[in-house]
Every structure is written in structure tokens, then in C-alpha cells.
Amino acid sequence: MNLGSVYFSIRNYDKAMACYRQYLSICEQQEDKKGIGVAQGSMGMVYQAKGDHAQALEHYSRAIDTAKDLRVPADSCVFMLKKANLLFTMNKFEHAGSVNDEALQTATQLGFENAIFQSSLLRAKLAAVADKQGAIHQLNDMLPNFPKSAMQAEIFYQLFTLTHTAGHRNRAAALYRALYDQYRNAAYKERLQELDRQTAR
């Protein structure tokens, strides 16, 4: 399973999928229902990365159902968030909102800061579909509540996508540059490249 995560992180999706399928087979043989759910959700991540949204949704749903049946809210929260974000990218906004609301409720009950952040961020992005100013207010309200650098960087990035102002762009870029210098994370580098391609007003 861990090897699959390594392959996924370097975007070798075929090898990641092979590892997750092997893990699924082992869990099925051992009747490890929790492991089966995690394997299904991990396979959903690979399907999503490869652009197979139907299979991704199916596997996320299986993982969520398994976690709920076993009463493992942490796992259900993780895969509900992934499902909600995928539905958002597919422009299925109403469905994304309902799944995200359940994820946020679960994350709040568990006190999972990162999940609360991700869910709050998606809520703002959903709001922006119909009410850009309302979404901007939501994002600004998040700034004092989520002080970690990575969270601040993403909030400023999302603000920039809505306002296209130099202030938001520069704050996001500075934070992502510092994060990349410290961690060398490819996701931070991608954000910097996206910001470089976009022009502020």
C-alpha cells in the first residue's frame, strides 16, 4: 500500500494502480473490510488522476460506504472530500455541495483541521459559481482561522482566481515560493507556475 502511495506521488499511475489492486486482493483474502475500503478509495484517486471520472466516483462511493458500515468516520471523511472535489470539477455543483456538507460535519466532529480547511475551501468555490463577492468574503473570513502557510497560500491563490488583483497574486506567490524552497513539493511548484502564467490587474 505504501509503495502505491509513492508511485502515486510521482505520477506513475499504472504502478500505483497495480500496488493498490494487489493490496485489495490481500485484504479480500484476509477479509479485512477496512483495508478493502481504503484500497477502493486509493484506486479511485488513480482513476481520477487518469481522467476516468465514472470509475473514480464509483470507487470513492464504495470506500465511503465501507467506512460508514464499519463506523470509521475518518476514512469516510477523506473519501467524501475527494468525491465532492471531483463532482465540483465535473460541474455537478449541487451533488458536490451535499457531499461536502456531510464531509465538513464529520471533519468538525473529529476536529480534523486539514479536512475542515479543504471542505471550507470547496464551500467557497461552490459559492463562487453564483455569488463571486460572497465567495470572496468567505475566503477572507478563512484567513484568520487557518494560519498555516500552506493554507494561507491556497486561500490567497483562490482569492486571486476571483479578483485577479496583484496583491492576492503576490501574497500567494510569496507563500508558495517559500513552501517550495522548504519542502520541494511538486504541487507547490505547479501553483507557482500557474501564477506565473496568469496576469494580475
The domain limits of the chain are: 132-201
pLDDT at 172 over 60: yes
pLDDT at 201 over 90: no
Residues 114-142, mean pLDDT to the nearest whole number: 98
pTM of the model: 0.93
Supply the mean pLDDT for the chain: 96
pLDDT digits (tens, 9 = 90+) for 65-104: 999 999 999 999 999 999 999 999 999 999 999 999 999 9
For the record, the C-alpha cell of 127 comes out as 459559492
CA-to-CA distance for 58 and 54, rounded, in angstroms?
Answer: 6
- Under the banding of pLDDT at 50, 70 and 90, the label for residue 152 is very high
pLDDT at 199 over 90: no
DSSP category for residue 199: -
Q: What is the pLDDT of residue 32?
A: 97
CA-to-CA distance for 9 and 6, rounded, in angstroms?
Answer: 5
- Under the banding of pLDDT at 50, 70 and 90, the label for residue 186 is confident
Radius of gyration of the chain (CA): 18
107 Cβ contact partners less than 8 Å away, ≥ 6 residues apart: 77, 81, 115, 116, 119
pLDDT digits (tens, 9 = 90+) for 48-60: 999 999 999 999 9
Q: What is the pLDDT of residue 198?
A: 84
